[in-house]
Amino acid sequence: MNDNELQYLVEYIALRYFDDTFEHRAYFNKRLRTTGGRYMLESHHIEINPKQYELFGEEAVRDIIKHELCHYFLHLQGKGYQHKDTDFKKLCQKVGAPRFCQPTMTYNERVNHHYRCRNCGQDYYRIRRVNLVKMRCGQCGSKLKEL
């Protein structure tokens, strides 16, 4: 699937499920890592993570498009478009848009940092670095060291 096919699919889903037209651009963004898609508030464009299509197929992309179109139409109508808003939750339920997409990487694949307690040897795996001055072992309270 390329950007033109994605644009057509978004326009089709907007008409079929929302009875409204999608007037902006939809395209794949390879830089998206932790999210399936993104609605841009200022430009009103929709970006989709191409990994979702590669790993899970067109059905996953359709679900992501529905989710992003919920943000799109509610924002343009001046209603609650955030995940926490009642309007958003109701519209997602109405059109069958999922709340979350499937992750492209597991936690273990995303881990970048390995820490070990100096006293008891407990291992800790983290995606982001932690402050070794502040962080202590959860079991014995001793200092950690990075491996």
71, 79, 45, 15 alpha-carbon torsion, rounded to 10°: 70
**71 annotated to a ligand binding site:** yes
Asked about 68 being catalytic, the answer comes back as: yes
Select from 108, 105, 111, 104 the least CA-distant residue to 128. 111
Are the beta carbons of 22 and 14 closer than 8 angstroms?
Answer: yes
Residue 37 sits at φ, ψ, to 5 deg, of -165, 170
**83 annotated to a ligand binding site:** no
Active site residue: 47, 54, 68, 109, which one? 68
Give the residue numbers annotated as catalytic, written as ranges.
68
Known binding-site residue numbers for Zn(2+): 67, 71
